[in-house]
Structure 1
Amino acid sequence: MQFPLVHISWALADNADRPGCDAFFQDVFGAEPVYEILVTPETEKMGLDREETLMMIGDAMVIPIAPAGRGAQEGAPLGDMLRRSSAPMRWLGLALKTNDLENADAWFAERGFKRHYDRGMEAHYFLVPRGQAMGMRLEIVKQDMPNEPRTAPDWSPAKWRDAHSLGIEGLQAVGVSAPSLEEARDLFAGKLEWSEIGTRDLPDATCAAFAMGDTVLETMEGTSDASPITAHARDVKGIYHLVFKVKDAASAATYLRSKGLTLIGNTDDRFAIHPDEAHGRLIWFTEVTPEGYPRAGSKLAEMAAA
């Protein structure tokens, strides 16, 4: 079963840091906010315990989430989870789309996954906790996100490619650190039935890539105990990076340096903003499409039309 990507989310420990994080993505990536969830007197009475801005970068939705309202109090379940998950190089996870939540629940159950339903949201989504997906929390959603733009008839991400200096063509991959590629294959190709695209060597790691809905999941095993990917798989777990496909790597690198940002990697292959300057997360850019990778592009509109 294929599940198109809905969004990528990560946590901030303090809501005071959220405006700066949102501004970073708007200033550097040209991210466009499509919806903001805020604690107001009315929503706080309803129990809202977080604040977040849904932002589009090309065809990818990114959502930094911070505790607020009741969630700002120590001991609040969601707030404590966000605070635990806010460490550098730690992401919350992915939301994946289904048109039939009951069927998706049965599909995951048949493969031995435990599912969690938030009270009152049983008809809208369920969660596969991060301990079952190599540290990556999966949210399987039926409903569209608020103000979802990608299913609109006139939606196009082309302006990020043609009008913005980064020249983003789409999200190419999500990377996950793995204790071993054997374990990654057992989980992603075996239990989740995501076809393996191929393997290749990356700095400090060997990568096995899997077709995940409308994007690619790159699982990485560190090549030594000293590899930062080995340390991530042991100590942090889960999502390690994002990769955006750009039309011209040299132009994208020049633009990022003009913003005063420090780059790591190689523009001939792929390069990234140093995580210290990207709110503790690793985001790569490349103009190279590895062999077997699909063309970047969301399939949410196709699912909505099915």
Structure 2
Amino acid sequence: MQFPLVHVSWALADNAGRPACDAFFRDIFGARTVYEMLITPETESYGFDREESLMLIGDTMVIPIAPAGGGAREGSPLGDMLRRSAAPMRWIGLALKVSDLAEADAWFAARGFKRHYDPGMETHYFLVPRGQALGVRLEIVRQDMPNDPRRAPHWRPAADHPLGIEGLQAVGVSTPSETEARALFAERLEWPELGTRELPEGCCTAFAMGDTALEAIAGSPGSAIAEHAAQVKGICHLVFKVRDAAAAAAWLESRGLPLIGEVSTRFAIDPGAAHGRLIWLTQETPPGYPAVGSQVGTISPPQGD
């Protein structure tokens, strides 16, 4: 099946910090807000329990989510989940697009995955809980995201930001071993393997996940990535391709942001200065990786709703 990436999400413990987080990604990464879900008297009466901004970095939607309204109270299922998930280097998960939800449900069921449906959303999406996918919660989505410009046939991401982001190259996931990564991504999910390579943080085995690559990183015992796989689990980084790495690094340094990594290969803002997110930038494309560019607009949901 085709699985274009719809969005990547992470949690904030307190909604009071969400505006600063959003502003950072708008300013530093050129993120453009396409839709906001906010608490108003009307939405709170509907049981709204969170606030979030749907933002595009290049052609990739990222969503920092914070508990609000009923979600701000202890005991709220979603609010408690967000508070548990709101830690540096911990992400909620990935949303992947399909055209037929029933067909996708059968596909995942045949591969032994348990699926969860939120009440009232049975025709819109289902979840594969994070415990089944090395800590990555998969949201299998049929509907379009509100105001998503990527659905327009001739839409292209803005190209005027100093970072010069061309598109998402990969999503990184920590794994206890290459064997476990292959068992999940290559065998159960049937995502083609793109190759292996050594990175400073560990051995990277890449798989084709729809319109981008998924990098499973296995580290040596005691390494930071091994600790992530054991204690945090799930997504550990994003990688964006940029037009000119040296120019992007120089611009970030001019903003006083501390960088890690190597500009000649890939580098990032230190996560401590980036709201706990590790987002690599690179000018290189590893062999076998798909060309950057969202394919969300190529998937049409079934008619009849």
TM-score over 0.5 (shorter chain): yes
The answer on 1:302 being equivalent to 2:286 is no
Q: Which structure 1 residue ranges, 5 or more long, are not aligned? A: none
Instruction: Tell me which residue corresponds to 2:145.
Output: 145
CA separation in 1, counterparts of 2:269 and 2:173? Answer: 18
Residue identity in the other structure for 1:206: C
CA separation in 1, counterparts of 2:201 and 2:168? Answer: 23
CA separation in 2, counterparts of 1:204 and 1:276? Answer: 17
CA separation in 2, counterparts of 1:255 and 1:204? Answer: 25
| Alignment deviations for residues 212-263 of structure 1 (CA, whole Å, 9 cap, x no partner) | 00000000100x2221000000000000000000010000000111111000
Task: State how 1:4-19 maps to structure 2 within 5 Å.
Answer: 4-19=4-19
Instruction: Tell me which residue corresponds to 2:169.
Output: 172
Instruction: Tell me which residue corresponds to 1:53.
Output: 53
CA separation in 1, counterparts of 2:201 and 2:140? Answer: 32
| Alignment deviations for residues 73-128 of structure 1 (CA, whole Å, 9 cap, x no partner) | 01110000000000110000000000000000000000000000000000000000
Match of 1:257 among 248, 253, 260: 253
Instruction: Tell me which residue corresponds to 1:208.
Output: 205
The answer on 1:81 being equivalent to 2:81 is yes
Instruction: Tell me which residue corresponds to 1:197.
Output: 194
Pairs aligned (count): 302
**Residue 206 of structure 1 aligns to a residue in which SS?**
strand
CA separation in 2, counterparts of 1:116 and 1:205? Answer: 33
- 1:305: Cα distance to partner? 9.1
- 1:136: Cα distance to partner? 0.2
Instruction: Tell me which residue corresponds to 2:239.
Output: 243
CA separation in 1, counterparts of 2:208 and 2:254? Answer: 35
CA separation in 2, counterparts of 1:47 and 1:78? Answer: 11
CA separation in 1, counterparts of 2:263 and 2:300? Answer: 37
**Residues 5, 95 of structure 2: 8 Å contact kept:** yes
Would the alpha carbon gap of residues 305 and 81 (structure 1) be closer, same or farther in structure 2, given more than 3 Å must change?
A: closer
Instruction: Tell me which residue corresponds to 1:66.
Output: 66
- 1:300: Cα distance to partner? 1.2
Task: State how 1:152-167 maps to structure 2 within 5 Å.
Answer: 152-157=152-157, 159-160=158-159, 163-167=160-164
Q: Which runs of structure 1 show a deviation greater than 4 angstroms over 4 or more consecutive aligned residues?
A: none
CA separation in 2, counterparts of 1:238 and 1:94? Answer: 10
CA separation in 2, counterparts of 1:59 and 1:115? Answer: 28
Task: State how 1:117-128 maps to structure 2 within 5 Å.
Answer: 117-128=117-128
**Residue 89 of structure 2 aligns to a residue in which SS?**
coil
**Residues 242, 248 of structure 2: 8 Å contact kept:** yes
Residue identity in the other structure for 1:272: A
Q: Which structure 2 residue ranges, 5 or more long, are not aligned? A: none
CA separation in 2, counterparts of 1:153 and 1:2? Answer: 19
**Residues 143, 301 of structure 2: 8 Å contact kept:** no
The answer on 1:182 being equivalent to 2:179 is yes
How high is the sequence identity, in percent, across the aligned residues? 70
**Residue 297 of structure 1 aligns to a residue in which SS?**
coil
Match of 2:287 among 260, 279, 291: 291
**Residue 304 of structure 1 aligns to a residue in which SS?**
coil
CA separation in 2, counterparts of 1:188 and 1:149? Answer: 30
Q: Normalized against structure 2, the TM-score is what?
A: 0.98
Residue identity in the other structure for 1:117: Y
**Residue 42 of structure 1 aligns to a residue in which SS?**
helix
CA separation in 2, counterparts of 1:73 and 1:142? Answer: 30
Would the alpha carbon gap of residues 119 and 305 (structure 1) be closer, same or farther in structure 2, given more than 3 Å must change?
A: closer
Instruction: Tell me which residue corresponds to 1:217.
Output: 214
Residue identity in the other structure for 2:76: A
Q: Normalized against structure 1, the TM-score is what?
A: 0.97
| CA RMSD after TM alignment | 1.0
